[in-house]
Amino acid sequence: MTYAVARRAQCPSTGLPAEVGERTVDQLIGQQIRLRRTHLGMTQGALAERLGMSFQQVQKYETGANRVTSSTLYEISLILEVPVEFFFSALPNAAGEGSHMSPEWAARLAYISTVEGQHLIDAFQDLPMPVRASILGMVRTLARIAPTASEP
């Protein structure tokens, strides 16, 4: 069975370090922690204080540099008011369904984890539905006619 994400920071089949751009399970879980934390407007320091640790430790969890223990993940789920399963929602399931996160999806998830992405989503959701539909149509049109980043 192959995984779209490495279980650790190394490739499971070769034992070599994961290639650049390949997400580890720890990184994806960290990204979900960051996504929910920023959605709630909580700082790393505030989360760290409630967990009884340094904000640097939270940073390491969010980047995937350090693995989150199951008991800590449970505490984080209580603080961030989501079920533990939320943190695994970006991972493939055991049956292999949804076993590949496309680069486009990974980029979207990374963007909405940023402060700018959260502000954009919050502002967009505050608009009435007809206005949202108009803006979405306009953005799609601009995306079709605008030069891509690779064009001069």
Q: What pLDDT score does 17 carry?
A: 43
User: How far apart are alpha carbons 15 and 20 in whole angstroms?
Assistant: 15
pLDDT tens digits along 22-52:
568 898 899 899 989 988 989 999 999 999 9
Architecture of domain 25-113: Orthogonal Bundle (1.10)
Residue 93 has pLDDT above 50, yes or no: yes
Q: What is the residue type of 50? A: R
Which of 107, 101, 112, 91 is CA-nearest to residue 36? 112
For 50, phi then psi, to 5°, come to -70, -25
Token digits of residue 134: 């108009």
Where along the chain do its domains lie?
Answer: 25-113
In the predicted structure, residue 61 carries a pLDDT above the cut 90: yes
Q: What would the pLDDT profile of 129-149 be if each residue is shown by its tens digit?
A: 999 999 999 998 988 887 765
Instruction: Please list the alpha-helical segments (H only) found in 1-152.
Output: 25-39, 44-51, 55-63, 70-79, 103-112, 115-125, 129-145
Q: 114: which DSSP letter?
A: S
Length of the chain, please? 152
